[in-house]
Amino acid sequence: MSDSTVLPVIDLSDLDGDDTTRNALLDRLREATHEIGFFHLAGHGIEPALADGLVAAAREFFALPEADKLAIENIRSPHFRGYTRVGGERTQGYVDWREQLDIGPERDAVAEVDPDRPWEVLHGPNLWPEQVPRLRELALRWIDEAGNVGRRLLGAWAESLGAPADHFEDAFADPDPLLKIARYPGHDRSVTDQGVGSHKDVGALTLLYPEPGSTGFQVERDGRWVDIDPLPGHFIVNIGELLEVATGGYLQATVHRVLPPPAGTDRVSLPFFLNPGLDRELPAVELPADLAAAARGVGPDAHGGTLHAVYGLNALKSRLRAHPNVAERFHADLLARFAAPR
């Protein structure tokens, strides 16, 4: 059973307003993320043409012959980059019904991974489709611009919680963002009833840009699933587990999922995950007394395991669980250490 709801709308351009406008925005941001954990974001400054161009390039890629897409399949990447075929990803152990490209910062692979820094296996180059050369430029531009939006939001969050605007800045000096370019093919749900299963996001915050007119995104509230319909030109924003840790549970990562579209249809979605550097943790926020009294403590991750302060441990745990084929091929030694609940 699900219900529809209207999320709050946060206009990021209000940060540039007068003191009254700015303070009202900070209050609204704090309340929305404490009470719901999700909101629509307007005033982010990303040009509609960039969003339209990236969605069009994504559709061009997904329309390629299967062999061309599999040429950059993530099974070729020890860094979990590249293409995942339909049914190739897991959430909560169950098959997700989408195909996607995982794109992160363009970095050289670490030649010899430090056992005390196992997340270094995630550093490495992306895999790009030769047949759609513009996808690389558009995706990397999206990562840059969405990252700037996310960092502005983090500064606003810090201020709304009584901390300086630059409270989180050092952790994001060399961030490790992730962009997923995903396509959800419609089906009759005979294989699985999930596009992406219920989960929380492991990083700091997520900026989701759904293709206009798409449906199926749901948030769990008070034990029921709530449909969230996108607004044209807006992001849907949610906090990740790292902000839950940093605020002692005053902000809590919210469980959400995506249902598959009807048979004979499909949709494209651009979830962008802003994360600190793999070896960094978000500094704890010293909350004012009234906010601290409303903090709910830090819960376990969606698997019942420990939430780690260092982002790289959460990221590695998530990738190992989500892509067992890549993990088994390249990182069998890490599976037992990090993939099981702990």
Residue 1 lies in a domain: no
The percent helix, strand, coil of the chain (3-state, each to 5) is 35, 20, 45
CB 241 within 8 A of CB 205: no
Residue 55 lies in a domain: yes
Q: What is the CATH number of the domain that holds 39?
A: 2.60.120.330
The burial class, CB within 10 Å (0-12 / 13-18 / 19+), for 221 is middle
Q: pLDDT tens across 193-245, in order?
A: 778 888 889 899 999 999 888 888 999 988 899 999 899 999 999 999 899 88
pLDDT tens digits for 294-331?
Answer: 998 876 665 556 667 789 998 998 899 889 899 999 99
Q: pTM of the predicted model, to two decimals?
A: 0.93
Residue 319 belongs to domain spanning: 9-339
pLDDT at residue number 342 = 40
Q: Is residue 3 part of a domain?
A: no
Tokens 């550093």, residue? 123
2 within a domain of the structure (yes/no): no
Q: Residue 154 and residue 48: Cα distance in Å, rounded?
A: 23
Is there a domain that residue 4 lies in?
A: no
In-domain check, residue 238: yes
The contacts of residue 289 (CB under 8 Å, 6+ apart) are: none
Distance CA 121, CA 205 (A): 22
Say what the pLDDT of residue 2 is: 42
| pLDDT reported for residue 187 | 78
C-alpha separations of 44 from 170, 200, 322 in Å: 22, 24, 30
**Among 246, 271, 248, 239, CA closest to 32:** 239
Q: Give the pLDDT confidence score for residue 86 in this predicted structure.
A: 87
For the record, the structure tokens of 241 come out as 């587990």
List of the chain residues with pLDDT < 50: 1-4, 341-342
- Whether 66 maps to a domain, the answer reads yes
Q: Is residue 243 in some structural domain? A: yes
Burial label, 282 (beta-carbon count in 10 A; 0-12, 13-18, 19+) = buried
Task: Domain count for the chain, please give it.
Answer: 1
